Amino acid sequence: MAEIELASPTPKAERIKPAELVQLIVFRLGDEDYGIRIEQVKEVTVTPEVARMPKTPPFIKGIANLRGDIIAIIDLEERFRLRPAGRPLPERSYTVAVEAADYTLGLMVRDVPRPFTLPLSQIEPAPEFVQDSSTRDKYLEGIAKLPEGGIIIVLDMRKVLTPSEVMRLPGKGASS
Amino acid sequence: MKTRDQEYRELFMAEALEYYDSMSRHLSELENNPNAGPALNELFRLMHNLKANARAMGFTDLGEVAHHLETLFGLIRDKERTFSGVLIRVVFAGVDALGNMIRAVGANQPMPEVSGLLDNLDRLVRGEAPLLEEIEAPETEEESNRKMELSDLVYIQVKKLDNLLNLVGELVIDRDRIMTLAQEIDNPALLATAQHLFRISDDLQYSVMDARLVGVGVLLNKFPRVVRDVASAEDKQVELTMSGQDVQIDRNILQIITDALLHLVRNAVSHGLETTEQRLQAGKPAVGQLTLSALTERDDVLIQVRDDGRGINTEAVRRKAIERGLTTAKAAAALPEQAIWSFLFEPGFSMADKVTDISGRGVGLDVVKLALDSLGGQLRVESQLGKGTTFTLVLPTSIAVKGALLVEVDERPYAVPLLHTDTVLALHPGQISVVGGVLVTHFHEEAVPLVPLRQLLYEEGDEPLPFATKTDMNGPQHVLVVNYNNRRLGLLVDRFMRQQNIVIKPLSKPLDTIDLFGGVTLLGSGQVCLVLDVPALTRLFLNKRP
């Protein structure tokens, strides 16, 4: 029946464009999954020894030595007030080193972060009201709905971590 | 060994060749699109820089051609000429000539003749037609033996060098750890290898530090213009003499002291030197002398700003310090000259009677002091009333190893640079008294305030510290006496650990706004240790004392 095919060349089904994929590093904060685009992640490691840093807000756990770079370690659960009562950070936690605008910062998480790939189209912009009303910066890039149910909240690190955002602290007041 | 002159020539060449390449690129762009503003601006800038560099190196002809082209591009930019017709040919010929001249410098050959070209450029600037035959002949000849060359020098971002230094710092710490281990294990083969590693990493550290050195001249050479501008604004006659431009120093140190030096120089012209009239009345030559010099003294680099002006009026500073409540009249009377002068470096301390455009805006010499503190440097002042003042910046050659005392508070180590430590004391509670809510002890006939380091570091908020009591003091108290700007402060710590050489790493963003810490260092164990900034601690204590 080749003739028929030749005679009536049906327009081919529109070629499916390879969907643009996004790779996330996913970790748990409180009771939800959060993700960061892999381009913004420098490395994932077992949290090194953290030295407490005076004159910083409580969610800054301190500083740590990551391959010779001294970076600030932040507890996002505390920052976003997501820590369920009576669930302290475990002895052994993990640190996701992320590239903020022009410096590196460590995010402390309780479980091993895992990579996750999904089509960009699955990430929906976050509704306005979810945004932290006290900050102008929209650090939620969006919310990814997973086919098997559940969601991943995608953070835009470059916005979570502007220095003023991170610090929100007495800062210079220490000595001026 | 290369002479300085050769080194400068190479630097000039590398920069000039780069300019030349950019010029050729922008010219082609301009030819395709005569209205390309950015290309035009860039060409103007390149010509300007080349002119400045060439003149500084004494290549007058090269400077002249660049100057003429700069003028012409200025006209094109201002839309007084268009980039079209014969102008294009003359400009290309001009840039080619620049290329030939730069190559001639590199090969140490005489400069090609450019009077015809200069004449044509002049004509274009005046709006006349150029004489074209003259430029055509050499140009075609050039075409065949035009060469391409790559520079012998590599430009490198300071950031990359910083990273290298960082890594070397790591390496040195690990090396020391391996040395210790090797000695403990006491295996001859391991020891030999460790010693070899020691030597190699030493050489590596030295090489990396060496690669970061630049001549002090790169900063000093910016000053003739500054001095000229300030002098003319103040209507003073100043002769600037400079020396020691060859003295080598770490590029970042130079960067950090730029503002400080600018301040000192402006200050010297604006406040130090007198007006012509005053000088003549005082029987001095009409022209004020300002000297900027750099020299090496053991491991340090000294940069001096010397003027032969009126000198520091110690009595006026003494009065002002009392007026500002920095000291009491009684205490001030007993202070020696040097101690009085150190008030000049207090924030906001200005001796200016009138506020001028250049200085005396309340931005005082404290800027200078702060810059030096951040480097672990020193500031020396010498002055003689009516004869002049000399400020000497004592700088480390490179940002490298510093001696520090390690102390422990709440089981965390903190490092205090030895530069600011005076002494350590073990005091019985009986040797400590409470005066006005502050703990005080007497040391060398001087009352030294004491404060628990824990309180300074961890007490939140801006409110004053609580009134001190001695009730919870048991047994001997460990006190580290630090000294900043002739002010002593005793820090109560849990324990003294040891003295050690440390490599200080700056705190990275976002924590770099906390000025209580000069940085961090890694201890042999890999442990992170905060380095305390004594000037900031002292200021914090003064602000928060009850």
CATH number (domain holding residue A31): 2.40.50.180
Q: Across the strands, what pairs with B478? A: B426, B493
Q: What are phi and psi of A124, to 5 degrees?
A: -100, 145
Token pair of B50 as six digits: 């080349």
B10-29: pLDDT as tens digits:
778 878 888 888 888 888 88
B106, B215, B208: which is closest to B153 by C-alpha?
Answer: B106
**pLDDT of B505 strictly over 90:** no
Predicted pLDDT of residue A10: 45
| ipTM at complex level | 0.72
Q: What are phi and psi of B306, to 5 degrees?
A: -120, 130
Average pLDDT, chain A: 75
Question: Are B306 and B382 within one domain?
Answer: yes
Instruction: Tell me which residue in A51, A103, A104 faces B530 most closely, judged by beta carbons.
Output: A51
Mean pLDDT, residues B252-271 taken together: 87
**pLDDT of B40 strictly over 60:** yes
Instruction: Classify residue A173: in a domain, yes or no.
Output: no
Q: Which residues of A touch B531 (CB under 8 A)?
A: none
Question: Are B346 and B225 within one domain?
Answer: yes
Is residue B502 helix, strand or coil?
A: strand
Report the C-alpha gap between A109 and A105 in whole angstroms. 13
* Count of domains for chain A: 1
Q: Give residue B171's domain range.
A: 158-212
Q: Give residue A155's domain range.
A: 19-168
Give the CA count within 13 Å in the CB-facing half-sphere of B55.
Answer: 12
Instruction: Classify residue B537: in a domain, yes or no.
Output: yes
Using CB atoms within 10 Å of the CB of residue B54, give its burial: 0 to 12 exposed, 13 to 18 middle, 19+ buried: buried
Token pair of A22 as six digits: 């996004």
Question: Are B256 and B204 within one domain?
Answer: no
Instruction: Tell me which residue in B511, B522, B543 faces A72 most closely, judged by beta carbons.
Output: B511
**pLDDT of A169 strictly over 90:** no
Is residue A159 helix, strand or coil?
A: helix
Q: Which residue of A has its CA nearest to B539?
A: A175
Report the C-alpha gap between A165 and B13 in whole angstroms. 46
Question: Are B133 and B257 within one domain?
Answer: no
Choose, out of A55, A158, A167, the residue to mutate when testing the contact with B (most B CBs < 10 Å): A55
Predicted pLDDT of residue A4: 46
Q: Which residue of A has its CA nearest to B411?
A: A51
B322-340: pLDDT as tens digits:
887 777 788 788 888 888 8
Question: Are B414 and B497 within one domain?
Answer: yes
Predicted pLDDT of residue B445: 81
A140-168: pLDDT as tens digits:
788 888 888 888 988 887 776 666 655 55
Report the C-alpha gap between A46 and A112 in whole angstroms. 9
For the ranges B182-196, B242-256, B350-364, the lowest mean pLDDT is seen at B350-364
> How do A94-99 and A69-74 pair as beta strands?
unpaired
**pLDDT of B439 strictly over 80:** yes
- Give B109 or B453, the one with higher predicted confidence: B453
Token pair of A66 as six digits: 């990551």
Q: Where are the beta strands (DSSP E) in chain A?
A: 21-29, 32-37, 41-46, 50-51, 60-66, 69-74, 94-99, 104-109, 114-119, 123-124, 140-145, 151-155
Question: Are B265 and B118 within one domain?
Answer: no
Angle value at C-alpha A156, between A153 and A160, nearest 5 degrees: 105
**pLDDT of B182 strictly over 70:** yes
Question: Are B385 and B409 within one domain?
Answer: no
B97-147: pLDDT as tens digits:
888 888 888 777 777 777 777 777 777 777 777 776 654 444 444 455 556
Question: Are B30 and B133 within one domain?
Answer: yes
Q: Which residues of A touch B370 (CB under 8 A)?
A: none
**pLDDT of B380 strictly over 90:** no
Which residues on chain B place their C-beta less than 8 Å from a C-beta of chain A? 166-167, 169-170, 412, 457-458, 460-462, 505, 507-511, 513-516, 520, 522, 526-530, 536-537, 539-540, 543
Give the CA count within 13 Å in the CB-facing half-sphere of B98.
Answer: 30
A47-60: pLDDT as tens digits:
888 888 888 888 88
For the ranges A20-24, B56-60, B222-226, the lowest mean pLDDT is seen at B56-60
- Nearest chain A CA: its distance from B301 CA (Å): 29
**pLDDT of B428 strictly over 60:** yes
Q: Please give the helix or strand (H or E) that residue A121 lies within, else none.
A: none
Question: Are B238 and B374 within one domain?
Answer: yes
Token pair of B544 as six digits: 């928060």
Q: Is the Cβ–Cβ distance between B409 and B416 less than 8 Å? A: no
**pLDDT of B294 strictly over 90:** yes
Q: Across the strands, what pairs with B502? A: B402
Instruction: Classify residue B151: in a domain, yes or no.
Output: no
Q: Which residues of A touch B528 (CB under 8 A)?
A: 49, 51, 63-65, 70
Report the C-alpha gap between B440 and B446 in whole angstroms. 10
Using CB atoms within 10 Å of the CB of residue B11, give its burial: 0 to 12 exposed, 13 to 18 middle, 19+ buried: middle
Using the beta-carbon criterion (under 8 Å), do A70 and B508 form an inter-chain contact?
yes
Report the C-alpha gap between B50 and B46 in whole angstroms. 6
- Nearest chain A CA: its distance from B214 CA (Å): 26
Which CATH number characterizes residue B288's domain? 3.30.565.10
Token pair of B379 as six digits: 């500031």
What is the per-residue burial (b if ≥16 Cβ within 10 Å, else e) of B381-407? Answer: bbbeeeebbbbbbbbbbbbbbbebbbb
Average pLDDT, chain B: 81
Q: What are phi and psi of B520, to 5 degrees?
A: -130, 160
Instruction: Classify residue A4: in a domain, yes or no.
Output: no
> How do A140-145 and B213-215 pair as beta strands?
unpaired
